[in-house]
A and B are shown apart, each in its own frame.
Chain A
Amino acid sequence: MPDWSGEIRRRLAPLSLEPTREADIVEELSQHLDDRYRELLARGLAADAATRAALAELSDEELTGALRGIERPAPAPAPAPGAPRTRRWSGQFLQDLRFGVRMLRTRPGFTAVAMLTLALGIGANTAIFSTVNGVLLKPLPYPESQNLVTFWGTAPEKRLPVVNYPDAMFVFFHQHTRVLESVAAYSGGGVSLSGEGDPERVPATAVSTDFFSVMRQVPVAGRGFVADEGTSGKSNVVVVSHALWRRRFGGDRNLVGKSILLGGQPTVVVGIMAPGFDFPERSELWVPLVLDPESVNNWYLSTVGRLKPGRTVEDAHREVAAMSDEFMLSRPARFPDAKPGGGRAVVQPVLQSLVGDARTPLLVLLGAVGLVLLIASANIGNLLLARALARNREMALRCCLGASTGRIAAQLLTESLVLAVLGGAVGLLLGALGVGLIRGLQVGPVPRLAEVRLDPLAQLFALGITLTAGLFFGMAPAIRASRVNPLVGLQGGARGGRSGGARRLSHGFVVAQFALSLILLIGAGLLLRSFRRTLEVDPGFRPENVVTARVQLPWPKYRSDTVVRVFQTRLLESVRTLPGVREVGLASRVPFSPGNPQQNLYVEDHPARSGEAIPVVNSRVVSPGYFEAIGTPILRGRGFLPSDNTNAPQVVVVDETLAQQYWPGADPLGKRIRVSTDSGTPWLAIVGVVPNVKHASLRERPNFELYRPFTQNPTWSSYVVMRSRSASEGLVPELRRRVAELDPTLPVSEVQTMEGAMAESLSLARLTNLLLTGFAGLALLLAVIGIYGVMSLDVNGRLSEFGVRLALGAAPRDVLRLVMRRGLLLALLGLGIGLAGAVWLTRFLGALLFEVSPVDPLIFLTVAGALTAAAVFACYLPARRATRADPITVLRRE
């Protein structure tokens, strides 16, 4: 007895009946056909004739047409009353959904590859987008933070991209601004907090008294500062952060009004800030800034201002530049080199200035993951297209059986959508994992990394990508399917006749993949090369086995130079005797530590011409033994000696950049320089020349540098530099003990190994490289899979042709060449487009590159070569299969 149920179900399918009702009808109709079949046999019909006759009576148009008005389709999950069209549509959708899931389950390999490809693309995008959103876009947690701006001067002609302001200039701005509603000044630093518990150095900020009102911050207890606390003698008050209040003072409710020891001085706590407020740069304490309205000597003030409603950053920029001009031109004695229009300034929203260094790498990564997603999309497009082709016959059959082309297209679209949603779900999971990883990273210049969340916007973003991807991927096969010519489809058989259009489309995908992969690989290559170049830079010292730690001497306890000198001499002697210590020295600043004190430079035999910019020099004070401890070689002359004391002539060591600028080819020893034109400033005789030392980054351009001896120029700020025989972190507890022996109130802070500090300065570049290389590798893999898949499909479709060619006497080599040529042509076309794209796109890497041209020919050629090799490999496998085509087998299969 024939099984009728399949045939009946197919006819009922368009009605989308409830499953139980459908089963009833199938059973009843099957029975009827059984009876009818038996009757026809009894009348003497042959079995197949009887089957045909019975089926003919099941003429479907009549059946489905008649049933359509009677039988109700399966209810939609959310019934839409009085909307039969919608109901039918959603019924169909559910059916398509079920069918789609079934189809995907029957091809686990295809499903896994497609889903994983999509998931990786979406996961990477979600993670990076979350990071970009959390770091770059999310507003700062301050009221109306979008109106907060910060500004500074800039003097590129003196190689000074950032110039802070002196007291007098800030006071001038404060009085004259019309664009800013209010403006505050601050100067970051640290202060030692002693008293109960171990002394510690706490990040502290001196702020002008209206700082909190500019930030619109209200303390949770006590108050902010009042105006007269910004005057000398009344400023021994402090506002503490919520975090410090909890950590150090155990959340003591009565802290406000109490006195604490800051730098050994009793200071009254007047307020506790709200949780989370730590501006600027994780500040834990705020003290009043005492401004001297006449002072133009110390250029140390940062600013934060609030724009008046309706005013823009550009307005502020114009005003700050104009006010700077006005300030300097009105003081010709102090600013002899001032010119109209010379008061240049940079004004930035506070958020932008906070994330400054992180911006370009993050945007580059965002672009890169976008490209990865495009490549992944092309891959999935190809996979789905291949699937659609393999199912040509099925589609043709459905067409013959009465499915409208629209229904077939809807079915295919649904399948892609199922795939996209699955991929999106897994991708979201990967994205969450990625965000978790990123959050755990310690990348110095990237603020707010710990606050990055897989935020709703990113999830929405992923959903958007997913749905767009689903519709997009579904589109090409669906459009194709809707053009299926049943006759051709059925004749073509399972191997699928590949129409010119489909082939062009899948070839287009391959070309696009190669182009995009090339761009990514070139970008990664350029960054890696930059990174190697960076590591090759000579920092001017040897960082191995060096530990540095800050020991700040508080004023007024260390008011007199003698006390400072005695302390520092004893400290050096004490540390030198630590076991394992080879060299020890002190310096006011060590490389890769925050801050960079600079001074003007006047050279005795090169007097500045009027109107010429006065050069600036990085200024350091170091002890005898410092150069040996940090590992900076003396190129000429000598380092400092204990005999360079207050009774001896004032001496200075300069770096070779300075020496070569002023005395190229001549001996700089004995020449004299000074740091101010004031009459009291002594001339300093050059006694030694050292290499240029990188201060904050291995990539920085060399700045002039000078070193003066502690013994002639005592300062309170000092770092101990210890060079040991082996890894040196173990020395730190010993160092703390030695410092405590000398003065138990002194905290030891900023402990770091020199190697660690340098690695930290490279952390962002390292992370960017790692991620970009990963993305580029992923892109390469996808592109290779892509071209392999397409070439395989091409070869399968032409197997009979190859078989016939071989049978007619073609050498396998000819067939191999035929296939390889086609594959490589696609790859090379992609590479050509990619090269053009890379030339255009790599310029955006500019700021991230170091001593590598954005169109570095070596990288371009290497990457193009590697991709070509990968393409050759990927095409070789299907090509070899083509050479083994056996005409008999192939033809028999037709």
Chain B
Amino acid sequence: MLDREWKKGSADLLVLSLVEHEPRHGYDLCKLIETRSRGVLTFHVASLYPLLYRLEKRGWIEGRWVEKAGQRRRRYYRLTPVGRKVLAAQRRSWSAFAAAISRIAGVQNA
């Protein structure tokens, strides 16, 4: 697992990216982060939901209870227009940041 501080800095970006194209529920987000990072990044219930609630409160994402036939209702989060702008800005600064780090530390961009 990556250092807590790293996670903190990048968590917003991760969540915003994952809900960019379709609404997702919390457990789905956890699994996606874990699988796509190949187990390097993990979020648990105690860390994920405060993050979701914070993003929602800032108006970047929006949560909504969705009922599907034969299932318990789940809360799906999707990107708001504001969130979309924030995501674009964060993407820009993140690549600038990553590029800067690579240049200094001599790490190849993955």
User: Do A57 and B50 contact each other (CB < 8 Å), given the known contacts A28-B75, A31-B72, A32-B26?
Assistant: no
Question: Which of A31, A33, A58, A70 interacts with B53 by CB under 8 Å?
Answer: A70
Q: Decide if A35 is an interface residue (CB 8 Å cutoff).
A: yes
State which of B46, B47, B54 has its C-beta within 8 Å of the C-beta of A70.
Answer: B54
Within 8 Å of chain A (Cβ to Cβ): is B36?
no
Complex Cα spacing A58 to B48, Å: 10
User: Which residues of B have CB within 8 Å of A28?
Assistant: 26, 49, 75
A57 CB contact (under 8 Å) in B44, B57, B74: B44
In the complex, what residues of B have CB within 8 A of residue A198's CB? none
- Chain B residue numbers with a CB within 8 Å of A62 are 46-47, 50
The count of chain B contact residues (Cβ–Cβ below 8 Å) is 17
- Residue A29 CB within 8 A of the other chain: yes
Q: Which of A25, A31, A59 contacts B46 (CB 8 A)?
A: A59
Within 53-110 of B, Cβ neighbours of A (below 8 Å) are at 53-54, 57, 72, 74-75
The interface residues of chain A lying within 8 Å CB-to-CB of B48 are 32
> Per-residue CB proximity of B7-33 to A under 8 Å, as 1/0?
000000000000000000011001000
Given A29-B45, A57-B45, A63:B27 Cβ within 8 A: no
Q: What 0/1 pattern do residues 5 to 33 of A give for CB contact below 8 A with B?
A: 00000000000000000001100110111
CA distance A173 to B110 in the complex (A): 117
Interface residues of A in 473-509 (CB under 8 A from B): none
Chain A neighbourhood of B53, CB < 8 A: 25, 67, 70-71
Question: Which B residues are CB-close (under 8 A) to A36?
Answer: 27, 45
A32 x B27 contact (CB < 8 A): yes
Give the complex CA separation of A28 and B45 in angstroms. 10
Residues 29-42 of B, flagged 1 when their CB comes within 8 A of A and 0 if not, give 01000000000000
Between A and B, how many residue pairs show CB distances below 8 Å? 52
Least distance between A447 CB and chain B CB atoms (Å)? 70
Contacts of B26 in A (CB 8 A): 28, 31-32
Q: Kindly state the separation between the CA atoms of A178 and B46 in the bound complex, as whole angstroms.
A: 88
Select which of B45, B51, B57, B74 is within 8 A of A33 by beta carbon: B45
Q: How far is the CA of A63 from the CA of B44 in the complex (A)?
A: 10
The answer, yes or no, to whether A60 is at the interface (CB within 8 Å) is: yes
Closest to B47 in A: A62
- Knowing A31-B74, A32-B27, say if A25 contacts B49 (CB, 8 Å): yes
Render A31-42 as a binary contact track against B, CB cut-off 8 A, 1 for contact: 111011000000
A443–B57 CA distance with the chains assembled, in angstroms: 72
Q: How far is the CA of A610 from the CA of B53 in the complex (A)?
A: 107
Residue of B nearest to A55 (CB): B45
- Does A537 sit at the interface, judged by CB under 8 A? no
Contact B49 A29 (CB under 8 A): yes
CA A62 to CA B45, docked complex, whole Å: 10
Contacts of B57 in A (CB 8 A): 70
In the bound complex, how far is the Cα of B45 from the Cα of A263, in angstroms? 101
| Complex Cα gap A33–B26 (Å) | 11
- Which residue from chain B places its CB closest to the CB of A28 in the assembled complex? B75
Q: Cβ of A29: which chain B residues have Cβ within 8 Å of it?
A: 45, 49
In the bound complex, what is the Cα–Cα distance between A66 and B27 (angstroms)?
18
Complex CA distance for A218 and B49, rounded to whole angstroms: 80
> Taking the nearest CB of chain B, how far is it from the CB of A58, in angstroms?
6
Evaluate contact between A63 and B46: CB separation under 8 angstroms.
Answer: yes
A57 contacts B72, C-beta separation under 8 Å: no
B50 nearest CB neighbor, chain A only: A66
Cα separation A50 to B11 with both chains bound (whole Å): 27
A71 proximity list for chain B (CB < 8 A): 53
Q: Closest CB-CB distance, A318 to chain B, in whole Å? A: 80
In the complex, what residues of B have CB within 8 A of residue A57's CB?
Answer: 44-46
**A67 and B27 form a contact (CB under 8 A):** no
Q: Are A63 and B50 in contact (CB under 8 A)?
A: yes
In the complex, what distance in Å separates the CA atom of A67 from the CA atom of B45?
12
A370, chain B: closest CB distance, angstroms: 55
B75 to chain A, nearest CB (A): 5
Q: Which of A24, A35, A58 is in CB contact (< 8 Å) with B27?
A: A35
Chain B's nearest CB lies how many Å from the CB of A566? 109
- Most chain A CB atoms below 10 A, which of B30, B45, B50, B74: B45
Residues of A within 8 A of B30 (CB): 32
Complex: A29 Cα to B53 Cα, angstroms: 12
- In the complex, A31 Cα to B48 Cα: how many Å? 14
In the complex, A71 Cα to B53 Cα: how many Å?
Answer: 8
Q: Quick one: closest A residue to B30, CB to CB? A: A32
**A36 CA to B45 CA, complexed, in Å:** 9
Question: How far is A59 from B44 in the complex, measured between Cα atoms in Å?
Answer: 9
Q: Are A60 and B46 interface neighbours, CB within 8 A?
A: yes
A31's partner among B27, B47, B50, B54 (CB-CB below 8 A) is B27
B72 x A67 contact (CB < 8 A): no
Interfacial chain B residues near A35, Cβ < 8 Å: 27
Question: A53-82: which residues lie under 8 A (CB-CB) from chain B?
Answer: 57-60, 62-63, 66-67, 69-71
CB distance from A64 to the nearest CB of B (A): 9
> Which residue of A57, A69, A71 has the most chain B CB atoms within 10 A of its CB atom?
A57
A69 to B44, CA, bound (A): 19
Find chain A residues with CB under 8 A from B46 CB.
57-60, 62-63, 66
Q: How far is the CB of B48 from chain A (nearest CB, A)?
A: 8
Q: A32 touching B50 by the CB < 8 A rule?
A: no
Q: How far is the CB of B53 from chain A (nearest CB, A)?
A: 5
Residues of chain A with a CB closer than 8 A to B72's CB: 31
Complex: chain A residue closest to B63, CB-CB: A28
CB distance from A34 to the nearest CB of B (A): 8
Q: Which residues of A263-311 have CB atoms within 8 Å of chain B's CB atoms?
A: none
Q: Find chain A residues with CB under 8 A from B74 CB.
A: 31
Closest to A54 in B: B45
Q: A31-B27, A32-B27, A70-B57 are in contact. Are A58 and B49 (CB under 8 A)?
A: no
A31–B46 Cα distance when bound, in Å, is 13
Chain A residues closer than 8 Å to B50, beta-carbon distance: 62-63, 66-67, 70
A66 and B47 form a contact (CB under 8 A): yes
Residues of chain A within 8 A of B51, CB atoms compared: 66
CA distance A32 to B53 in the complex (A): 15
| CA–CA, A29 and B50, complex, Å | 11
How far in angstroms is the closest Cβ of chain A from B54?
Answer: 5
Which chain B residues lie closer than 8 Å to A63 at the CB level? 45-46, 49-50
CB distance from A151 to the nearest CB of B (A): 80
Interchain nearest-CB distance for B19 vs A (Å): 15
User: What residues of A have a CB within 8 angstroms of the CB of B45 in the complex?
Assistant: 29, 32-33, 36, 57-58, 63
**B-chain residues with CB within 8 Å of residue A32 when the two chains form the complex:** 26-27, 30, 45, 48-49
Chain A minimum-CB-distance residue to B28: A35
CB nearest neighbor in B for A72: B57
- Cα-based distance from A58 to B30 in the complex (angstroms): 14
A250 to B45, CA, bound (A): 87
CB distance from A486 to the nearest CB of B (A): 23
A456 to B27, CA, bound (A): 61
CB distance from A502 to the nearest CB of B (A): 38
22 residue pairs bridging A and B, Cβ less than 8 Å apart: A25-B49, A25-B53, A28-B26, A28-B75, A29-B49, A31-B74, A32-B27, A32-B45, A32-B49, A33-B45, A36-B45, A58-B44, A59-B44, A62-B50, A66-B46, A66-B47, A66-B51, A67-B50, A67-B53, A70-B50, A70-B53, A71-B53
The 3 closest A-B CB pairs, nearest first, are: A66-B50, A57-B44, A63-B46
Given A57-B45, A67-B49, 6 more A-B residue pairs with CB atoms under 8 Å apart are A57-B44, A62-B46, A66-B47, A66-B50, A67-B53, A69-B54
